[in-house]
Structure formats: C-alpha cells, structure tokens
Amino acid sequence: MPKRSQAEVSEAMKAVFVQRDEKSAKAKAAELARQFQTRFPKAMEIFEAGIDDVLSYLHYPQPHRVRISSTNPLERLNLEIRRRTRVVGIFPHAGSCLRLIGMLLVEKNEDWLTDDKAYLTFDDAPAEESAAKVLSMAASQ
C-alpha cells in the first residue's frame, strides 16, 4: 500500500475497532474491505484473513477489553525474562534455562494472583477461580 494512502486506510480501520460488539465490527470490516478492495486487493486479502483473530478481544467482558487488547503485559514479561537470563550469560544446558524461565513465570503468576491491584477481575471470585475463568474463556475460542 502506498504511503500516501496509509493514513486514509488507517482512519477507516479505526471505525472497525471502536465497535462494541463482534457483529458490528465484522460488518464494518466487510464494508472497509469492499471500499478498498479495488485499490489495494492484496492488503484487503490480508486484512480479511486476520480479522477474526484481531477481533478476538470482543469475546471477553467489556471491562477487560482495554486490558487484553494490548500486548504490553506480555512484552514486559518478555523483557523481564531477557533481563534475568542475561545475568546468567551462558547456561550449562537447556534444562537450566527452562528452570530459570519457569521459575520466573511461576513467580509472576503468583504476583498476579495475590496483587491487591488485580489486572483483571471477575466479580468477587477468588483469584484461582478468576484464573480458571480466563483459561476457560481462552480455550473456548
């Protein structure tokens, strides 16, 4: 897609992502694809192929959508893993690396479950039930 057209298409795409439900978002996406199909057929083919994955956050409750539509927590976790593995430098074998990363992930999971300022909450359910609900919602997709 030419650089001069990117702003126009980007503005049109924003209309897809401000929709409050999946049905209206998919309708807007189909409208956008029809609008730009003749000018940018390859870009619209890629857009249509990935729209279900991109809109998957709409399957979750409204309060969670802002949190899960971003990959910032995952990126932060990856940076923490990179920081901690660089301290070690060279691992004697793959198992030692896996143990360190596994320990970091378990530690972060415990922090998320016991933190007073929960990143995602499901009513007044205990943290273990909340985690189970998130996993079951993700598995149902």
Of 58, 73, 99, the one marking the end of a domain is 58
Shared domain check, 102 and 133:
yes
Shared domain check, 69 and 21:
no
Q: How far apart are CA 74 and CA 17, in angstroms?
A: 21
Residue 68's pLDDT is 79
Shared domain check, 73 and 8:
no
Shared domain check, 18 and 50:
yes
Q: HSE of 113 in the Cβ direction (CA atoms, 13 Å)?
A: 14
Residue 34's pLDDT is 94
- Determine what percent of the chain is predicted with pLDDT higher than 70: 83
Shared domain check, 96 and 115:
yes
Residue 128's pLDDT is 55
Q: Work out how many domains the chain is built from and give that number.
A: 2
Shared domain check, 49 and 16:
yes
Shared domain check, 99 and 73:
yes
Query: Where residue 140 falls among pLDDT bands split at 50, 70, 90?
Result: low
Shared domain check, 74 and 18:
no
Encoded tokens for 74: 């995952």
Task: Give the count of beta carbons closer than 10 Å to the beta carbon of residue 115.
Answer: 10
Residue 67's pLDDT is 78
Give 69-123 pLDDT, tens digit per residue: 778 888 999 999 999 999 988 899 999 999 999 999 999 888 888 877 766 666 6
The mean per-residue pLDDT over the stretch 22-49 comes to: 93
Instruction: Spell out the alpha helix ranges (H) of the chain.
Output: 3-17, 22-36, 41-54, 62-68, 72-88, 94-114, 127-139
Residue 71's pLDDT is 81
- Global confidence as pTM: 0.56
What is the residue range of 89's domain? 65-139
